[in-house]
Structure 1
């Protein structure tokens, strides 16, 4: 079995966190002195003391950093002290970054980034650095590099060597993310790190290890990771040791030096335990389980893998959880426990699907963030162009004040009009993007949860056939369930395709005159076997005229969904009655059943995008998509739909349709 050798992304995020805003840390005695000092101060001296306290806690205690930052904002606001407000918000952005709330950090930073500062000082440089970290962690590397370079420029002007090295470290880490290891090596080799800055020293060693791994120089990678283990026991150094030990385990596993690998994997677990980081334990645990599997020590492999799986389920670490579930499937297959092997194989596929959907959602979030950034950048450029044009007009107006005035008014009017048109286009684009994203999320939710079940069942049947682990009797038990699931899937697909076509503005209303009772009779024949199986009677009262003017195909979908619901929520000896009443210009159709009814507090959820649904009287599944589709199609045909129900006594669905020509909304 081949062991995966490199896993850069998760570890480099941690490496960047070590040096996010770390400068020259205060000693513990100094911070105690500052706390005592803050109790006797007021106004501006108090604000400056709290700024120093916040600086101390930035990378040590996120909760304390947040607490003092909020206090600093309160004091600075009362003093109108802008530097204090900026320093406090830098600390809060850094806390967002450390906790992985990257979008929240960017959102918090943007109002300050849009301001113009007379003096570009230390706190603004820190803001650029923290913002660059957030963008880089989201994969928006171009924007991250831009903010890093702005931060580096200010720190060089201020000659803050440790901060210059911090920015360089994060730039080098970005190169590692992009697998540009040669450029990353150049950055780290040229850094001048002071002996006092242990945090940056240990982080740089970790990054050198990753660089040499990428360059396939495993001896140098090993040397750098081993050097990390000689550092002290600060939180930052322990985190570095945890990562280095895990990667050493991977290196020795590749060499098949399993004894050494196990020592380092176990050390990594111990370090992560000190940090109370359960999720990160999964990588070394998976490594240990794979070694036991390679040695054919199946019981040990299974024990360790199940421990890792438990952590993954608790922390929802999908990538590592998918790996360990796949390993458990292989272990059970080696033990010839085909039942468990099959179950874990199916679970592995489900986790893989969820992971893919999660990654797609993250890609969409990144695209949205890039879109927002580019829009803001375009607005700034447009404002600068307007200002430049106005200045040129002012400078060129020497010959005639009247002519200059006319030219200024004309250009300003045109610029304002263009700006309004551009803003309007941007609003429409943003609205379309959000609507498209909502449609995508709804489609993914349905596909992930409702289409996957019958496919998994079919996959399971095929797998059992392949393993020859099922006899004829078991096959006969499974086939009716498969048939039931595929009937449900067929209905779902029809609704899903109709709904998605409607959402994407691809469904045009084509009205015509037809008898609606004819559609009811046709659909009752389609559903006849389901009515008969549950011994439900259906009656169509067609004594009055049923002529309506609407799109026949759309109303056919509406009737099929409502009748299907009636069958679903009725049981033996229940009945369904279809009737109509005439109103000026409209026909009101009612479908009344004597089934289980709908709870009063759930009626408001019907016909909405909440996809509310419950199981039927015989555990029939549903998605909630059908009634939402009914509402859209009835309203597109100029009617309305509603329901009246008493829980336990049945439900009556009503909808109206015009009987004459009307203006159709496409």
Structure 2
């Protein structure tokens, strides 16, 4: 039996993408030959730098500490000699070492530094590799759309230079980016091109990454037997290349596929292998994925207590990683602000010194004029005139400085306003966590405590399980809304519009929402034409649909009905979510889409954070649509919103009702350096 809730695996796919890091592996004899070459060439010159960089490259997937030592020595010698090319490759090797440790921000800084030096030299081979690295980093940071321009630029250069091994790597990485975007047909095109080229080159090390990606595509398409076959091929290639990071990933992949296929002993064995190797590598992202898959395995084996503990361990590590990244961003922002403030202070001090020097010079002129007063009266008159002109210039300079100071004060006030806004966002988050999230967690903790101490039996626990599951899912939706709102407030959310099928997107969300409706004995169905192609940001529209349907479930009592329908206009699709629930009181209707914090409990005391409808309005309007509602207290509500049709839309006017069936889904992406 597979673990429940396959939709959660789709939502956790970006965590797999975080795990996927570039890597290459030289065989042990090659690494030993570099060590011998370094002993035979102790002179600190360009040749030693090249040997050190090659040695670092050969070690980074097997022993990151040795690779780091060689790269740092190469960087130090390159800076002493002014050897720019050596400095580029040393920094690139240090970036790869940081990748094996999961430090993507440090990898990005080092890669950008190398890229600036390479662009100054205009060395095409080096540029193609660094563009490839930049694309890989963006894919690992769950920004595959930002990765594709760098990867395609790298592919153009490599094809121009006819570098077949490098072309195969970039083809694999483009396929990996499309895999992260769930554009599976495009992903398979590039992955099969990479596979054919690597087979022709007999590149067993490179085939490991491509086979792993093909396995991930097979998992997303629910072809578990094919996925197992590709991951076994990938594991064999990683093992032959002695790629420790790749061995960990292949064991994790095999464990998850075997869990889905019900082969629990094999899954347990592969998880143990991954855990033992990662204890040496200390890769925090590998550790997160380990606990996530172990949770799935324990759930499939119905060991729910162990599953709970492992899911808790996964959640703690995920939150720790999230908080660490946020702390690094805040620290970098503070350092930048302090540096700019110091620079402004230095400029002001320099200008004050210039004014003081001018004043001293003026005083000297006055003393000299007084001494010559009795000698030549005309000279004194001329000097006084020059002093007058000088005074006018000083006055103009002082006025100009006052204007600059006023401008600086204005900038500081704007920065203070921004900081106050961020504090308000923080207070809002803490308020929601302290008031709305503690309750369901406390109930869960209490029930688990009673179950653990055998104060209630399993039958009694199952009596509360459905209601507890619904509360936890409502809490999860509330957390999604809060995080989206906080992200929107702190750094803004850019619209990434694309053509997509609105009906397909609704089907993806409908399964879990229908389960929530069944828990309340509410009928939930949708009646929409077969395919509605629209042009908008699919993730934003997904959040809008989820909020509107979840709100309808929340305020519809048992026995009620919720219907999702659509109407096609010339340029827009109008989506309607209608229920026969409690409706909205007239005195509160003006607060629904406002910035005012407004939240009420549902028919079964479901809670919300008061951000869902405000966030939905913002997302709809960002995608050139509008949202409105009609509600009658006691009779129900109808929420409607519009979204632009795709220019290539070929709507099907035949309506039908779809009941979503359970099906598993999982996947991730891997990069190839």
TM-score range, shorter chain: 0.3 to 0.5
Structure showing greater Rg: 1
TM-score by length of structure 1 reads 0.47
